[in-house]
Structure 1
Amino acid sequence: MALHYSSPFMELSQFAGWELYDEEVPSGGLITGIGRVSGIECLVVANDPTVKGGTYYPITVKKHLRAQEIARENRLPCFGFSHRLTGCRSSSTSFAVDSGGANLPRQADVFPDRDHFGRIFYNQATMSAQGIPQIAVVMGSCTAGGAYVPAMADENIIVKSQGTIFLGGPPLVRAATGEVVSAEDLGGADLHCRTSGVTDHYALDDEHALVLARRVVANLNIRKEPQVTMLPPEDPLYPASEIGGIVGTNLRKPFDVKSVIARLVDGSRFAEFKEHYGATLVTGFARLHGYPVGIVANNGILFSESALKGAHFVELCAIRGIPL
């Protein structure tokens, strides 16, 4: 609902967690992708509460960190929705959260290392320092590490009688001090908007929070400079429907990968790199929908010459900022 009404959504890392654990963890328990909020490109990260209560498996952490890496590289504002969040959590460009924190049976692979859970908070802080906006929308409970997310955000929104932010909830307070306090009095919208100042915008309900969220993004004053030289998109000279006939169903039967490339790229134009060296790896430049791209495609068994050729080409694309 936060995305622009006409915005497509490009989902990322859909197969994270596939057959990785004994139990099913669809998409790693996390949805990530790119869409537009108020006309501005944002990276969406959403916890899936139907997967072990939205808890973080090791693959969930890796997927979240990858989303933040994409946000950093492309300077996408970090815009997060928090529903019922307990335990460590962080925001990425645009995410919906309903998380139970770390998956405790696997916490040894979630918490301690350099690129584990804590890295999410580090990334949030450093991206904010780099001028990449971090925005949080609190629609539920943000407890323990999850409370850091809205507190560290550049701008945040909390929903009345629904959103809460505290390190320890009412049961923990009662166990530690004997004091009985409600979640709303301990860390609700009225407390944080009127007393503590942790939150910036007071939403009456979820729909109002989304309206405020879109307004916040609209006021970011972001003007994205074009990072590539664009050309008008062209259709390939040959129909893409022919690819099935070229590749076929027999995986042991070789095919010419250049025939596949000719049915994918704009105008079927492909500027091959090192055409006569390491011929079992095809490399070169082309355009897709007007965007420049580098293509690396194996065309048989790879030899040392092929590997050297591929490494050289990848370095060129990295220097020139051309996606592969």
Structure 2
Amino acid sequence: MELTAELNQLEAKLRLGGGSEKIERQHKQGKLTARERIDLLLDKDSYAQEIGLLVAYDQYDGGAPGAGVITVVGRIEDREVVVVANDATVKAGSWWPETIKKILRAQEIAMRSHVPIVYLVDSAGVNLPYQGGVFPGQYGASRIFYYNSLMRRYLKIPQISAVMGPCIAGGAYLPALSDVIMMVEGTSFMDLGGANLVKGATG
């Protein structure tokens, strides 16, 4: 019972993402949190299973709860779907090495079950200090975009992206390779790099 109570407390803490201050900041920007978006998107009182809540909880000095992304299997209009939502309360929704693993796992579930996948994008892109663990290898970030293309061209699995905040660098490829992109006026944008990066590359 004590172990169960500890697990429940840990899960409750992780569901707060970056914490109450970051949640309040998100609201002040006129945006919902990733969990609030998912709650509104999925059918009420229907089955929903979160995948990977405990991922990275004990890494990075506790700075990456859930690896900054929420992955859920649920139902929309009584149709089973997979949802991937960047948690902007965790380091602006940036990608850690474990973020890649969670997104790939969600995409693989969608492909194996042949169900639509919805991306709720609000991300600053790759967390640069950890990019060495994000890109390399067969199961690095580029595989996300390979899966995007595979689902779109061959498997014909619907991919829908709702861009609800920043969508930067590698993170911009994901919605660009989706079948449908929706953007929120005034709060969302897509680019391959910030102004300083573009200036440095182009002079």
Partners of 1:34 and 1:175 lie apart in 2 by 41
Q: Which of residues 137, 144, 161 in structure 2 aligns to 1:113?
A: 137
Distance 1:102 1:172 in 2: 14
After TM superposition, give the deviation of residue 168 of structure 1 in Å. 3.6
> Where does residue 34 of structure 1 map in the other structure?
73
Structure 1 unmatched ranges of 5 or more? 83-97, 179-324
Q: 2:113 maps to which residue?
A: 74
CA distance in structure 1 between the partners assigned to 2:199 and 2:63 by the alignment? 37
Match of 1:13 among 27, 52, 59: 52
CA change 1:71–1:5 in 2 (3 A) is same
**Offset of 1:50 from its aligned partner?**
2.4
- What is the aligned partner in structure 2 of residue 149 from structure 1? 174
Could you say what secondary structure the match of 1:7 adopts?
A: coil
Output the CA distance in 2 between the equivalents of 1:148 and 1:66. 18
Q: Distance in 2 between matches of 1:65 and 1:111?
A: 13
How many residues end up aligned between the 2 structures? 163
Change over 3 Å in CA distance of 1:110–1:174 after alignment to 2: closer
**1:59 aligns to what?**
98
Is 1:128 matched with 2:181? Answer: no
**Which residue number corresponds to residue 165 of structure 2?**
140
3-state SS of 2:61 partner: coil
Once residues 58 and 150 of structure 1 are traced to their aligned partners in structure 2, the CA distance between those partners, rounded to angstroms, is: 19
Give a deviation string over 1:21-49, Cα, whole Å, max 9, x none: 43342222221111111221111112222
CA distance, structure 2, for counterparts of residue 173 and residue 111 of structure 1: 21
Q: CA deviation at 1:69?
A: 1.1
Higher mean alpha-carbon deviation, 125-134 vs 9-18, is at: 9-18
If the length of structure 2 is used for normalisation, what is the TM-score? 0.70
**Which consecutive segments of 4 or more residues in structure 1 shift more than 3 A?**
20-24, 168-178
Check the 8 A contact 2:126/2:169 in 1, yes or no.
no
Q: Which structure's CA Rg is the greater one?
A: 1
Alignment correspondent of 1:100: 124
Q: Shift of residue 62 of structure 1?
A: 1.1
Work out whether residues 123 and 168 of structure 2, in 8 Å CA contact, stay in contact via their aligned partners in 1: no
Distance 2:104 2:72 in 1: 13
Q: Which has the higher helix share?
A: 2
Measure, in 2, the Cα distance between the counterparts of 1:57 and 1:110: 6
| Aligned CA distance change for structure 1 residues 125 and 32 (closer, same or farther; 3 Å) | same
In structure 1, what is the Cα distance between the partners aligned to 2:165 and 2:92?
Answer: 14
State the AA in 1 paired with 2:186: S
Q: Which amino acid in the other structure matches residue 123 of structure 1? A: Y
d(CA) in 2 for partners of 1:18, 1:170: 33
Deviations 1:95-114 (A, max 9, x none): xxx32222222211111211
CA distance in 1, matches of 2:86, 2:183: 18
Higher relative CO (Cα under 8 Å, sequence separation at least 6) belongs to 2
Q: Secondary structure at the match of 2:138?
A: coil
1:167 corresponding residue in structure 2 = 192
Q: 1:161 to 1:171 in 2, by over 3 A?
A: farther
- Tell me the distance in 1 between the aligned counterparts of 2:130 and 2:197: 24
From the superposition, tell whether residues 39 and 67 of structure 1 become closer, same or farther in structure 2 (CA, over 3 Å): same
Structure 1 position 177, deviation (Å): 6.7
Distance between the aligned counterparts of 1:135 and 1:53, measured in 2? Answer: 21
Partner Cα distance (1:146, 1:77) in 2 = 19
- Sort the Cα spacing of 1:22 and 1:76 in 2 relative to 1 into closer, same or farther, 3 A: same
Residue 47, structure 1, aligned to residue 71, structure 2: no
SS, match of residue 63 in structure 1: helix
The residue type paired with residue 162 of structure 1 is T
